[in-house]
Structure 1
Amino acid sequence: MKILAFDTSNKPLSVAVVVDGKVLAHIESTEKKTHSVSLLPDIQDGLQEAGLTVNDIDLIAVAKGPGSYTGVRIAVTVAKTLADTLNKKLVGVSSLKLLAANGDKKHLLVPLMDARNDNAFAGVYVTNRDGRLLTVIADHHTSMANLFETLKQYEPNELEFINATPRLQELIQKQFPEATIIMSENSLPAAGKLAKIAETTKPVKDIDNFIPTYLRLTQAEHDWYAKGNKEDKNVSYVEEI
């Protein structure tokens, strides 16, 4: 199977072309360019490096969030456009699950995305005997305090926190000094791993209605609802915009 995989939900942009489990091209960009400018050229470069065209691709895999609102929208929009126009299969993978793929299979994996003000996007995963990541606690937006309370049921030395910023590291070490922590710079999302996860993930049935996973309202949506706009009485925020 020929897979085109890409992720723009985090600061780095990652693109990979994988054929039958072998990574033929991997492009990662941490330059200070917007993903909207870099993604399509990086996809083109990756396909060229792999000696393929986009028409050769069987499946498109995209990290669907949570993460940067703009970044997630860019990747999902490009993925949907390619899948729809080229009649290709589309798979959306949790951005947190992708981060969990950087962890040690022996640990209880807690991927994080710093959501500021001591909040985070978080999930909890384990790796089964087949090497697949299974969800223990679904992805959610939470305060670190609430997350720690939930994780008290586990042995601290079994926990591995992935993609921690310095602030999150500080909080984790105070609560779980025996836990393993992988910092953000050492746990960059890799599109090659995204392709591997996508191989065992069911494709999207309805491409038109496939949307990013945000897990919380954008500031614009929050302000819109605060003004008295409600989906059950008026048009939805998306329809309004």
Structure 2
Amino acid sequence: MKILAFDTSNKPLTVAVVSDGNILASIESTEKKTHSVSLLPDIQQVLKDSKLSIEGIDLIAVAQGPGSYTGVRIAVTVAKTLAFTLKKNLVGVSSLEVLAADGSEDKILVPLMDARNDNAFAGVYQYQDGKLVNLIEDHHTSMEKLLGSLKQHGSDKLEFINATEHLTDLIKDVYPGAMIMDTKDSLPKADKLAKLAENKPVVSDVDNFVPNYLRLTQAEHDWYQKGHKKDGNISYVEEV
């Protein structure tokens, strides 16, 4: 099976074509680029390097979030468009799970994305029989609450992934013996995203496939602050 996988949910951009577990081509960029500008050319490049056309792809795998609102929207929009127009299967994978895939197989893995104000997007994972298992669902939380929820695990059993300098300081105060992989060393890998996608269900309704933000966007927050009710059938975009 030939998989096109990409992740633009954070500052790094990663794109890969994987065939039956073998990486045919990949691009990983940490340069400060606009993902909306670089994603499609990078997809074209990995297809060219793989000597494949987009029609030769069997599955499209995308990091569905959480992460940068704009970054997640870009990847999901491109993935939906390709899947719909080319009639290809689509799979969404947690951006946090993609980060966790880079962790140690003998640790409790805690992938993070700094959400500011001592908050984070976080999940808890563990390798079992060579596969990642989700122990605590991805969620938006305070670091205090997250660190408190991990007390049943010994400090030396924990590995935090993608921790900013500030989050690292918070972690060390509570778990001085934990392994910490900082942001520069915990880059998402599209080939690992592709591998994770192989064991995920295919999206049954591409039209209704949406980013997993894990918290309200600012527009939604402002909408509800005005007294509007949460109704999935009503747009939070106000007519003027």
Which TM class, normalised by the smaller chain length?
over 0.9
CA distance in 1, matches of 2:182, 2:142: 19
Relative to the length of structure 2, the TM-score reads 0.97
Matched, 1:78 2:62: no
CA distance in 2, matches of 1:231, 1:128: 39
SS in 1 for 2:139: strand
2:19 aligns with: 19
Deviation at 1:211, TM superposition (A): 0.5
1:56 aligns with: 56
**How does 1:110-189 map onto structure 2 within 5 Å?**
110-129=110-129, 131-189=130-188
Deviation at 1:236, TM superposition (A): 3.3
Deviation at 1:167, TM superposition (A): 0.3
C-alpha contact 1:230 1:236 (8 A) present in aligned 2: no
CA distance in 2, matches of 1:37, 1:226: 34
Report the residue type matching 1:88 in the other structure.
K
2:222 aligns with: 223
Deviation at 1:237, TM superposition (A): 1.7
CA distance in 1, matches of 2:60, 2:172: 38
Deviation at 1:132, TM superposition (A): 1.1
CA distance in 1, matches of 2:165, 2:232: 43
SS in 1 for 2:65: coil
Distance change >3 Å, CA 155–CA 232, structure 1 → 2: same
C-alpha contact 2:219 2:236 (8 A) present in aligned 1: no
Report the residue type matching 1:235 in the other structure.
I
1:198-224: CA deviation from partner (whole Å, max 9, x where unpaired): 111111111110100000011121111
Structure 1 residue runs of 4 or more that deviate by more than 4 Å after TM superposition? 238-241
Residues matched between the structures, number = 240
Report the residue type matching 2:158 in the other structure.
L
CA distance in 2, matches of 1:145, 1:192: 33
Percent identity over paired residues:
68
- C-alpha RMSD of matched pairs (Å): 1.5
Distance change >3 Å, CA 7–CA 238, structure 1 → 2: farther
CA distance in 1, matches of 2:125, 2:144: 19
Structure 1: give runs of 5+ residues left out of the alignment. none
Matched, 1:36 2:36: yes
SS in 2 for 1:120: strand
Structure 2: give runs of 5+ residues left out of the alignment. none
CA distance in 2, matches of 1:99, 1:240: 39
